Amino acid sequence: MLHNRKDLQNARRAYIDSLEKETKKILVCAGTGCVSSGSLVIYDRLKSLMQERNIACSVELEKDPHDDSVGIKKSGCHGFCEMGPLIRIEPQGWLYVKVKEEDCEEIIEKTILNGDHIERLAYQKSGGFCKKQDDIPFYKKQTRLVLEHCGQIDATSIKEYLAVGGYSALEKALFEMTGDEIIDEITESNLRGRGGGGFATGRKWAQVRQQNELEKYVVCNGDEGDPGAFMDRSIMEGDPHRMLEGMMIAGLSCGASEGYIYVRAEYPMAVSRLKTAIAQATDAGILGDNILGTDFSFHLHINRGAGAFVCGEGSALTASIEGKRGMPRVKPPRTVEHGLFDKPTVLNNVETYANVPLIINNGAEWYKNIGPENSPGTKAFALTGNIVNTGLIEVPMGTTLREVIFDIGGGMRDDGEFKAVQIGGPSGGCLTKEHLDLPLDFDSLKKAGAMIGSGGLVVLDDKTCMVEVARFFMNFTQNESCGKCVPCREGTKRMLAILERIVNGQGEDGDIDLLLELADTISATALCGLGKTAALPVVSTINSFRDEYEAHIYEKRCPAGACQKLKKIVIDEALCKGCSKCAKACPVTAISGKIKEPFIIDQKKCIKCGACVSTCPFHAIKED
């Protein structure tokens, strides 16, 4: 238990010393991605191998460790999930990828005991391999500040967090700054909310501080529901204390002593890591009553979501914490005035809070030097879709799409051609080739008709149908509409019906105009952010790919060849030997013909299932 500032500093010094005594370290990635590809088995194997060989190994930092012991840790997500399980070797900074249980013995023998690099486990690229993690192109162009600890320290240890300077921002805020000074620093840094809207964080905090109420709340939105986004998950799993520290500083500056973290039900590991972190911080006296001997008290609670996307919206989220249906309400009054339990509430997302300790430690001036003036700092993006390197990345705001996709992402997968990138999930839009040199920041994306959202970047290749993508998002929004306001409840349903007609080959003249008209009405009249932005994927795909919509409607053709119902399956007479295999495979008896003569597909009967295509031994059946 740490009773005052001196205790904290002494403890930190002791942990720094013991961290330094671990001259060699193995960090096994224990993020959701690597765990599912078997990293925990590897962790156990490495540990037992070291015990068998009597190698002194330390799992946890102690105040008096063995000299030269080998640290073996479970780290947070490195972001390179596709290459998992990942193992980082310290002090060399080597990264081993796709490690298997069988490799463990060699790792101990060669790398740990002899300090030799194992080439076959390194990341391979054309013309060689990358020894160090920092040499891998995926990492080289990144600036990892918010994610700096993810993959580098033990995610389940407050001791390691302290040893790398954790809770020093809280220390500074508690003992050297007033509430106003904290808020001034955050305002000066121009930190903007990472959850989507990009609202100035400092202004939000100042408004809550001004409220003349005894009870105030700090709420963290960890309901990262955008399909294709997992930045917040990685922070909660990989560096949970960082986020808690940010929340505590928010509480300190606004005069709140209770905090709530709302986490999606789909993130069980994040919930358990946060619980561990809260328990550790409470035991250490960093969280709870009279923190480090001051009169500041702060308590944290975790609320698990129950599967409602709309709860990512502020007023729906607070309703859900109160144990109600997660439905948004009309604003104003805003959350800063009447939020959780009707009290003034600071509501930010995970990544925003994780930025706070950086700003307090290094100052607003330092922070403003990263990225463009109006959107300073870095942004984490989840890079997914038809791209070579999928994973979690962090780049300075203002980095271009081209750098993200081609330098970090390694370009398109399976030699596909870049077509578009869907940014910001179901509330976002798509960016095309002409936007490749657009800097990624709040303002320039807004101008381009998209939004940063929470930061999901789904890369689409030329085989992806944009009408189908729009339908997919509309289907999502329609499912998730809470049903409170008519424009969203009914409007999204009608838009979805039209889009379904179009991809099924029943589009009619005038459908595009109808979609745009509905989009306009919904955006103007819906109650909350979910409804207001619901039509954005449709509008932005119409703007950029109107010709694809027209091909579906007027020519009953899908230019990308993706829409099943619009496919035409034909038999090449020159190649068909008349063996009748296809006719037997057809579930609707659409294929007929005489043996040893070319067969024919009755297009009216054909349901385009493709069963015949795969059965033909002569590859005579093709999708047109």
Give start and end residues of each alpha helix (H) in 216-349.
Answer: 231-238, 240-254, 268-284, 314-321
Angle at 205 between CA 203 and CA 206, to 5 degrees: 65
530: contact with other proteins by CB under 8 A: no
For residues 401-419, one letter each, b for 16 or more C-beta atoms within 10 angstroms of the residue's C-beta and e for the rest, the string is bebbbbbbbbebeeebebb
**Secondary structure class of 16 (helix, strand, coil):** helix
Query: Closest approach of Cβ 351 to other proteins, in Å?
Result: 14
Find tokens 């917040």 and name the residue. Answer: 232
For residues 76-93, one letter each, b for 16 or more C-beta atoms within 10 angstroms of the residue's C-beta and e for the rest, the string is bbbbbbbbbbbbbbbeee
Measured between alpha carbons, how far is 348 from 192 in angstroms, rounded to an integer?
10
Residue (362 or 564) nearer to other proteins, CB: 564
528: contact with other proteins by CB under 8 A: no
306: contact with other proteins by CB under 8 A: yes
Residue (96 or 230) nearer to other proteins, CB: 230
Of 81, 74, 76, whose CA–CA distance to 59 is shortest? 74
Residue (71 or 385) nearer to other proteins, CB: 385
Residue (456 or 578) nearer to other proteins, CB: 456
Residue (312 or 398) nearer to other proteins, CB: 312
303: contact with other proteins by CB under 8 A: yes
Query: Closest approach of Cβ 615 to other proteins, in Å?
Result: 17
Query: Closest approach of Cβ 597 to other proteins, in Å?
Result: 33
Among 93, 115, 128, 268, binds other proteins (CB under 8 A): 268
Q: How many residues bind other proteins (CB under 8 A)?
A: 58
User: For residue 535, which amino acid is it?
Assistant: A
The tally of CA atoms less than 13 A away on the side-chain side of residue 598 is 12
Residue (193 or 453) nearer to other proteins, CB: 453
Span near other proteins by CB under 8 A; candidates 209-217, 259-267, 347-355, 546-554: 259-267
Span near other proteins by CB under 8 A; candidates 18-26, 107-115, 220-228, 247-255: 220-228
Among 43, 161, 205, 309, binds other proteins (CB under 8 A): 309
List strand residue ranges (DSSP E) for 289-403, in order.
299-304, 345-349, 378-385, 391-396
Among 15, 267, 353, 599, binds other proteins (CB under 8 A): 267
Query: Closest approach of Cβ 416 to other proteins, in Å?
Result: 11
Measured between alpha carbons, how far is 79 from 234 in angstroms, rounded to an integer?
8
157: contact with other proteins by CB under 8 A: no
Query: Closest approach of Cβ 4 to other proteins, in Å?
Result: 33
By CB under 8 A, the residues from 112 to 151 that bind other proteins are none
Among 226, 351, 441, 511, binds other proteins (CB under 8 A): 226
216: contact with other proteins by CB under 8 A: no
Residue (456 or 487) nearer to other proteins, CB: 456
Query: Closest approach of Cβ 476 to other proteins, in Å?
Result: 6
Among 328, 456, 507, 578, binds other proteins (CB under 8 A): 456
Asked whether 601 and 560 are in contact (CB, 8 A), the reply is no
Measured between alpha carbons, how far is 8 from 170 in angstroms, rounded to an integer?
11
228: contact with other proteins by CB under 8 A: yes
Among 4, 10, 23, 36, binds other proteins (CB under 8 A): 36
Residue (221 or 375) nearer to other proteins, CB: 221
Query: Closest approach of Cβ 228 to other proteins, in Å?
Result: 4
Span near other proteins by CB under 8 A; candidates 136-144, 222-230, 287-295, 492-500: 222-230
Residue (174 or 243) nearer to other proteins, CB: 243
* DSSP per-residue string spanning 362-381: H-HHHHHTSS-SSS-SEEEE
307: contact with other proteins by CB under 8 A: yes
Asked whether 486 and 521 are in contact (CB, 8 A), the reply is no
Asked whether 238 and 147 are in contact (CB, 8 A), the reply is yes
Span near other proteins by CB under 8 A; candidates 103-111, 112-120, 385-393, 431-439: 385-393
Q: Which structure tokens are listed for 406?
A: 């081609």
Residue (385 or 398) nearer to other proteins, CB: 385
Q: Phi-psi bin for 165: left (phi > 0), alpha (psi -120 to 50), beta?
A: left
Pattern of binders to other proteins over 337-376, x per CB under 8 A?
----------------------------------------
Of 16, 77, 81, 87, whose CA–CA distance to 47 is shortest? 87
Asked whether 31 and 40 are in contact (CB, 8 A), the reply is no
* DSSP per-residue string spanning 184-227: HHHHHHT-B-TTTT--BHHHHHHHHHHS--S--EEEEEE---ST
Among 227, 293, 593, 598, binds other proteins (CB under 8 A): 227
Query: Closest approach of Cβ 37 to other proteins, in Å?
Result: 6
Residue (387 or 621) nearer to other proteins, CB: 387
Residues with Cβ within 8 Å of residue 279, at least 6 apart in sequence: none
Asked whether 446 and 220 are in contact (CB, 8 A), the reply is no
Span near other proteins by CB under 8 A; candidates 31-39, 199-207, 445-453, 517-525: 31-39
Whether cis (ω within 30° of 0) applies to the bond prior to 333 is yes
Measured between alpha carbons, how far is 55 from 589 in angstroms, rounded to an integer?
69
230: contact with other proteins by CB under 8 A: yes
233: contact with other proteins by CB under 8 A: yes
Among 18, 37, 189, 533, binds other proteins (CB under 8 A): 37
**Could you tell me which residues are beta bridge partners of residue 96?**
87
**Secondary structure class of 315 (helix, strand, coil):** helix
Residue (185 or 226) nearer to other proteins, CB: 226
Residues with Cβ within 8 Å of residue 184, at least 6 apart in sequence: 202
Angle at 95 between CA 90 and CA 97, to 5 degrees: 140
Among 190, 384, 399, 533, binds other proteins (CB under 8 A): 384
Find tokens 């750098």 and name the residue. Answer: 403
Query: Closest approach of Cβ 469 to other proteins, in Å?
Result: 8
Among 308, 440, 445, 590, binds other proteins (CB under 8 A): 308
Could you list the residues that contact other proteins (CB under 8 A)?
Answer: 32-33, 35-37, 79-82, 84, 224-230, 233, 264-268, 303-309, 320-327, 382, 384-386, 390-392, 422, 425, 456, 458, 460, 464, 469, 472-473, 476, 479-480, 482
